[in-house]
Amino acid sequence: MPEKPSHQTLAGRAADYVRRDARADAMAGLSVAVMGVPQAMAYALIAGLPPVYGLYTAIATCAVSALLGSSNHLVTGPTNAACMVILSLTADLPARTGHGLLEIVFLLTFITGLIQLVFGVLKLGGIVRYVSNSVIIGFTAGAGILIAVNQLRNVLGVDISADGARRFHEVLVATVSRVGETNVYALVLAAGTALLVAGLPKISKRLPASLIAVGAATFACWALGWYDATTMGAHRVEIARDIEPIRGSLAIFHVPSLVVAPDWALALELTPGALALAVIGLIEATAIARTIASKTGQRLDFTQEFIGQGAGKMAGAFFSSFAGSGSFTRSAVCYQSGGRTRMAAIFSAGWTALTLLLFAPFANFIPKASLAGMLLVIAYSMIDKQRLKSSLKSGRFPQIVLFGTLLSTLVVPIQYAIFVGVALSVLILLRVTGQTDLTQLVRRPDEGFDEVPFNKAPASAVAVVNMEGDLYFAAAEDLDYELLRCITPQTRVVVLRMKRLRAVGSTAMAILEHYWELLRERDIRLVVCGIEDELKDVMTGSGLRRKIGEENIFYADNKLLQSTELALARARSICDVERRNAETVVLDGADAPAVPRGITAADVMDRRCIRFGNQHQLREAVWLMSEMHRQSRSTRAQPLFLQHRDGTLAAKLTPWRVLREFASRLDPDAVHELDDRTLGARFREHFTTSIASIADGDPAAVTKATGLARAIQIGRDDDVDVIPVVSEDGHITGLIHMADALRALARSVTPPEDADA
């Protein structure tokens, strides 16, 4: 047998990488840099920083995070949401603390990275699971609106700094109030950039739209001299070097003074915001990495990814970088361009560094309005219309979380918006889980159970209550009195099915014990079933198991509803004993004449009946009626009797009713041209029709006490083979087949002497 290859040396692995993957990674990294350079500069503007610091972040943070992370395609750098948080956290701190803005940003970046590193080391990555999808959609949409509003001043070329506007509404009002001062040249550059960024991908997705758009605007601004204050005067367009000149140098190492000599009061003030920034960054990074890994099949190590993200920010603070995160756009480009390993992200950092060295003089002429125009398109894309629609259709609670988070991004400082969203999610979770789901089970005559809404079951000696969900202290409050609502004057035994209960604690046991006492005061017995081992231990420790009695407790079985069947048998035996004990024989004279009762519906009723809810679609009814006819004793197709959710009779659906409804929708002139396949296709188009909309409502029915003559008369009037039998409160209990009624009628006319013969 051939020898197994030994582990390669570092040099051997490097040689293999150069031969197999280096070229693909280098080209993918170039694609990321071409697309990402103008974006990185624009995102720095969102954070309130000179554009060049976006490039520094795309170099240092990107390289370190890729080197220490686990995803082959995740590219880290400036992101729009994170930059918006940075702006909110740091905008007013220089004036209040006396520290430089950049030093404050570097301290914030270091603290954020430290928090993420701690999350990774302690394996606390599960914290991001508590941020729901609705929170992310609302937060991202809100951040997009904030970005658009904050960039309007740059699009219009107006200065609102004298207004002191910081909050969303203040910035919006101040900007709108200065519309009359709009710099037309800035507006033209912003609009042109936005149109190119939005339009070029529709021509070809391979075109670097952002680079082309910003490059064209920069060239136009330089060639037309719109940046020159001498010739343009008050209409001059502000360019990148006006904020801070971009130097073609990689001398970006810088020891942050507030990191090596901290201002502890400032660090403490920044920590809550840094926590929000860390959580946002981890959510972005994990979501992006997981999305791409699902396509590549890569197995991710999120603990390592958190460490990489944290270390990247901590190192970035020493290389003039601000807090970035995983970028979906840049990561998608990396994957789509054929990147194979983490080196693709490192290559993108290298290409960005080379761009800075070679094109710094040109970058100095990038119009601020052009970057703002690009950001408007990005802000619009942050509002994910598809996921927004999906969330809006997911129910009331996701809508509350979504709009609550979105509104909070516009009203409160954005760093707190993510916490507002999480708080809303937790509160709604507690609201949903704080109420145990109660339904009732009703035994069918033909075996099995119907599940009906709580307190909607027919009166019976045995009430079977199905309990599901959480039963911790919040859910247990008033549960004892809520359970009393299932009791009727006929109730002698209550069966609690507790198979699906979770989080049962001492408070719940105290409530159930009180319920047991309330039942005992009413001379009603309690039987419990579906008891799992964990619940058994809690019941034993609380003493409730001893009080209920072992003979009234039935434990969960792997056979579905097995313990419920046993509990119901126990409940019936209790009722039988009580009935026997209560029976008394009262003789009112000897040889009292017997009164013939006569044949009733109860004597000819077939308890084997199929109940069907009126909430179903036509396709389900067709299948069921076909099976009923196949197995029926009658040669005539039977109707389908429908019931409400509470088990009461709702309507009648006959095969002829179905066919008549279908035939009414056919074109009479084209019927002779329809072959079987076309006819079936036409029928299939109506499969989603609600059966409640075509069934005959309020069908005639009888009770068990109805006489045979009346039952036959109803069958004649409705021209049916079967009639439903209902209880006094309208629940279906069985069916009368006309064939059985005929046999009973025949027996009733047979002379006694003939019968004896």
pLDDT tier at 748, thresholds 50, 70, 90: low
- The values of phi and psi at residue 536, to 5°, are -60, -45
Instruction: Give the pLDDT of residue 3.
Output: 44
287-341 per-position pLDDT tens digit:
888 878 878 888 888 889 999 999 999 999 999 999 999 888 889 888 888 889 9
Same domain, 139 and 172: yes
Q: Which of 533, 551, 581 is the last residue of a domain?
A: 581
More confident residue, 442 or 109: 109
228 plus 85 within the same structural domain: yes
Is 7 a member of any domain?
no
Same domain, 158 and 28: yes
Asked whether residue 746 is assigned to any structural domain, the reply reads yes
Statement: residue 430 has pLDDT above 80: no
Q: At what angle do helices 80-90 and 22-46 cross, to 10 degrees?
A: 40
Closest C-alpha to 475, from 513, 508, 429: 508
| Number of compact structural domains in the chain | 3
Please tell me the predicted confidence (pLDDT) of residue 476.
57
Find the mean pLDDT for residues 97-116.
95
Q: Over the stretch 360-384, which tens digit does the pLDDT of each residue have? A: 989 999 999 999 999 899 888 888 7
Q: In terms of residues, how long is the chain?
A: 757
The lowest-confidence range among 4-8, 386-390, 745-749 is 4-8
Contact 465, 498 (CB under 8 A): no
pLDDT at 8: 65
CATH (domain of 721): 3.10.580.10
Expressed as residue numbers, the domain containing 501 is 437-581
Task: Tell me how many degrees the CA angle 735-738-744 measures, rounded to the nearest 5.
Answer: 100
- 165 plus 278 within the same structural domain: yes
Considering the domain boundaries, does residue 15 fall inside one?
A: no
Q: What is the pLDDT of residue 589?
A: 42
3-state class of 712 per DSSP?
A: helix
Alpha-carbon distances of 208 from 200, 369, 461, 585, 739, rounded to whole Å: 8, 19, 76, 98, 80
Q: What is the pLDDT of residues 595-642, one digit of tens each?
A: 445 788 788 887 777 778 888 888 787 877 777 666 665 555 677 888
- Beta partners for 734? 725
**CATH number of the domain enclosing 519:** 3.30.750.24
Return the pLDDT at 706. Answer: 86
The residue that leads in pLDDT, 387 or 236, is 236
- What is the average per-residue pLDDT within 482-490? 86
Q: Is 308 within the bounds of a domain?
A: yes
Q: Please tell me the pTM assigned to this model.
A: 0.66
Burial tier of 385 (Cβ tally within 10 Å: 0-12, 13-18, 19+): exposed
Do residues 307 and 396 share a domain? yes
Q: Tell me the per-residue pLDDT of 175-215, one tens digit each, with 9 for 90 and over.
A: 999 898 999 999 999 999 999 999 998 888 778 888 899 99
**Cβ(107)–Cβ(270) under 8 Å?**
yes
Euclidean distance between CA atoms 273 and 86, whole angstroms: 8
Read off the pLDDT band of 482 (50, 70, 90). Answer: confident
Claim to verify: residue 401 and residue 448 sit in the same structural domain: no
394 shares a domain with 260: yes
Domain contains 8: no
Q: Which residues contact 436 (CB under 8 A, 6 or more apart)?
A: 467, 468, 469, 470, 471, 475, 476, 479, 501
pLDDT at 287: 80
Question: Three-state SS for 650?
Answer: strand
Find the mean pLDDT for residues 478-499.
85
Residue 409 and residue 271 share a domain: yes
